[in-house]
Amino acid sequence: MSQNKPCPGGPGHVYLVGAGPGDPGLITVRGKQALQKSDVVLYDHLANPELLALAPDRAERIDVGKERGHPKLSQSEIENILIERASRGLTVVRLKGGDPFVFGRGGEEGLTLQKAGIPFTVIPGVTSVTAAPAYAGIPVSHRDTNSRIVIMTGHDDPESLDPATLDALTLGNQTLVILMGVEYFRKLSRKLLSHKMPPDTPVMMVRWGTTASQDTREGTLGTMEEILSSHPIRPPSLIVVGKVAGNQYRLNWQNNRPLFRKRILLTRETGTQDGLSEALTSAGAEVIHCPTIEILPPDNLSEVDKALESLHEYGWIVFLSPNGVRHFMRRLRDAGRDIRALASNRIFVMGPATHKAMSEFGVIPDGQPLESHGNGVLEFFHSQSVQNRKILLIRGDRGDGLIPDGLLSLGARVTTVRCYSNRIPCLPEYLRDRIAMHLEERSLDLLVFYSPSSYENLLSLFPEQADDIRHIPSLAIGPTTQAALLKDGATTVIVPGEPTESAVEETILNHFS
């Protein structure tokens, strides 16, 4: 655990925040704002890692419900951490699955803070009680079926339920929503049946509702025991008992979200995949961002500076990636110059994304390949007379010799400038743990790679899961990336017709249709 900034005087503040039921889009606006300004986040296993990414990088993230390798923290340990961090003047978010006060021990934490004189704010959340059934197509109330919703935990031993409680639970016009009830359901259903609840009362169990792992079991009070013995279900699951769980009330709205229950890993660097991520999310997918490449300025700027001083000598400047464009143009600006410095050059860009990056600087490229790969570039220059012409090649520090060697063999004089470097980023622990788990469980449905190095870096980040990575279907942005994956032994690789966001989206939709 890192040490945060010291107390500037006075206690800090604790936010008891409902994280929502699992789909990260179901956090509230206020919950998101609290995370964005937090110094410390205490979370448990129901919180989605995409929510943890909302906190500043420097924030301390404490997993209080850790299952992989570490023991869970006790309730009093959690409360002590809340008080200790807040007393240091820090802004602390206690992120709790669903709503903090629906069987979430938020009440206890609030009272403890109150006694300790720590100011706190409650930010309610979307509870799984209504959201998990809703994502499974069940409205927890319907005018025709129920005028009450009873929310209970299954933790109380059903044997200890007294007759008056059983009378109340078996009333007709209500919906029972049972949390933490998987273990006791068999006993409870027998109790309800023996107390004259009709055996044809519909029952639905929802596990990991609203997430890509959502799973359901459907039956009646009379059949559920048998269904569960052949198809068991594990926590976290909730159980809906009542007419609303019946087929005639089912809302099949998930049919409009073709990617629901698909979990997709995007490996592009932070901030460059927002459009795709949004499109996939609105089609129902759960998107996990795992940047496997970090783009930094090159270790040595003298190469690029030297090229900038002699730009007029080059017939063509060839940009192979959007990062090349951005880093080159940034250095030009740092030298106090602008696009007029490129007035005498012809500009070539590889691929639509590089074209877009150049256009954003107000420069309309003079050339681009028919196909966005190394051979496409060479085909283009084959049709130009580049004999003895000087070409400036702008790229990162990773590229191979295909393009420079090919241009040389066409008689051109090539200067290669490495304008940026690719590094493997250091993933935060919470993200690393979660992704390792999904890889091992193979609970990712697709991995998306934008370059051979985005793939190689994922393997370096998760060496123990290399075999899983090869077996999960992948999308490669183009033929070069596809070839790298296949050479390494990736089993299923899909490729969009062209390397654009919309083509990637379409290819993913087709893949899952």
Active site residues: 44, 66, 180
Task: Write the DSSP assignment of 16-81 as a string of letters.
Answer: EEE-BSS-GGGS-HHHHHHHHT-SEEEE-TTS-HHHHTTS-TTSEEEETT--SSSPPPPHHHHHHH
Q: Does 499 bind ligand SAH (CB under 6 A)?
A: no
Closer to ligand SAH at the Cβ: 89 or 124? 124
- Least gap, CB of 133 to ligand SAH (angstroms): 9
Q: Which residues pair with 120 in a beta bridge?
A: 14
Q: Is 492 helix (H, G, I), strand (E, B) or coil?
A: coil
- Least gap, CB of 22 to ligand SAH (angstroms): 4
Number of residues that bind ligand SAH (CB under 6 A): 25
Closer to ligand SAH at the Cβ: 21 or 158? 21
- Least gap, CB of 145 to ligand SAH (angstroms): 21
- The one-letter code for the residue type at 227 is I
Site for ligand SAH in 74-133 (CB under 6 A): 96-99, 102-104, 127-129, 132
Q: What does residue 214 show for φ and ψ, rounded to 5 degrees?
A: -55, 135
- Of the ranges 50-58, 144-152, 235-243, 426-434, which one interacts with ligand SAH (CB under 6 A)? 235-243
Q: Is 416 helix (H, G, I), strand (E, B) or coil?
A: strand
Closer to ligand SAH at the Cβ: 41 or 407? 41
Closer to ligand SAH at the Cβ: 50 or 99? 99
Which residue among 238, 320, 325, 407 contacts ligand SAH (CB under 6 A)? 238
Closer to ligand SAH at the Cβ: 85 or 207? 207
End-to-end, the C-alpha distance of the chain in Å comes to 44
Site for ligand SAH in 46-65 (CB under 6 A): 46
Which residue among 27, 169, 206, 290 contacts ligand SAH (CB under 6 A)? 206
- Least gap, CB of 368 to ligand SAH (angstroms): 47
| Sequence-separated (6 or more) residues with CB below 8 Å from residue 218 | 202, 203, 204, 205, 227, 245
Closer to ligand SAH at the Cβ: 105 or 346? 105
- Of the ranges 229-237, 353-361, 384-392, 431-439, which one interacts with ligand SAH (CB under 6 A)? 229-237
- Least gap, CB of 124 to ligand SAH (angstroms): 9
Site for ligand SAH in 243-302 (CB under 6 A): none
Task: Write the DSSP assignment of 86-130 as a string of letters.
Answer: HHTT-EEEEEESB-TTSSSSHHHHHHHHHHTT--EEEE----HHH
d(CA 72, CA 84): 18
Q: Does 237 bind ligand SAH (CB under 6 A)?
A: yes
> Burial letters for 78-98: b for 16+ Cβ neighbours within 10 Å, e otherwise?
bbebbbebbebbbbbbbbbbb
| Sequence-separated (6 or more) residues with CB below 8 Å from residue 39 | 4, 5, 12, 56, 58, 59, 60, 85, 90, 91, 92
What 8-state DSSP symbol labels residue 342?
G
Q: Which residue's Cβ has the minimum distance to ligand SAH?
A: 98
The tokens describing 354, both together, are 């590089």
Chain centroid to Cα 276, Å, comes to: 12
Closer to ligand SAH at the Cβ: 24 or 97? 97
d(CA 327, CA 325): 6
Q: What does residue 171 show for φ and ψ, rounded to 5 degrees?
A: -60, 150
Closer to ligand SAH at the Cβ: 98 or 496? 98
- Least gap, CB of 86 to ligand SAH (angstroms): 22
At which residue do the structure tokens 């279900």 appear? Answer: 233
Site string for ligand SAH, 27-46 (x = CB under 6 A): -------------------x
Which residue among 22, 31, 49, 496 contacts ligand SAH (CB under 6 A)? 22
The tokens describing 424, both together, are 């493997």
Chain centroid to Cα 365, Å, comes to: 34
- Least gap, CB of 137 to ligand SAH (angstroms): 14
d(CA 315, CA 384): 11
- Least gap, CB of 412 to ligand SAH (angstroms): 59
The angle at the Cα of 323, spanning 340 to 496, to the nearest 5 degrees, equals 120
At which residue do the structure tokens 């559920």 appear? Answer: 224
Q: What does residue 112 show for φ and ψ, rounded to 5 degrees?
A: -60, -45
- Least gap, CB of 351 to ligand SAH (angstroms): 40
Q: Does 209 bind ligand SAH (CB under 6 A)?
A: yes
Closer to ligand SAH at the Cβ: 97 or 406? 97
CA distances (Å), origin 322, targets 116, 326, 405, 406: 53, 6, 22, 22
- Least gap, CB of 508 to ligand SAH (angstroms): 24
Site string for ligand SAH, 165-194 (x = CB under 6 A): --------------xx--------------
Closer to ligand SAH at the Cβ: 180 or 466? 180
- Of the ranges 81-89, 206-214, 221-229, 419-427, which one interacts with ligand SAH (CB under 6 A)? 206-214
| Site residues for ligand SAH per CB under 6 A | 21-22, 46, 96-99, 102-104, 127-129, 132, 179-180, 206-210, 235-238
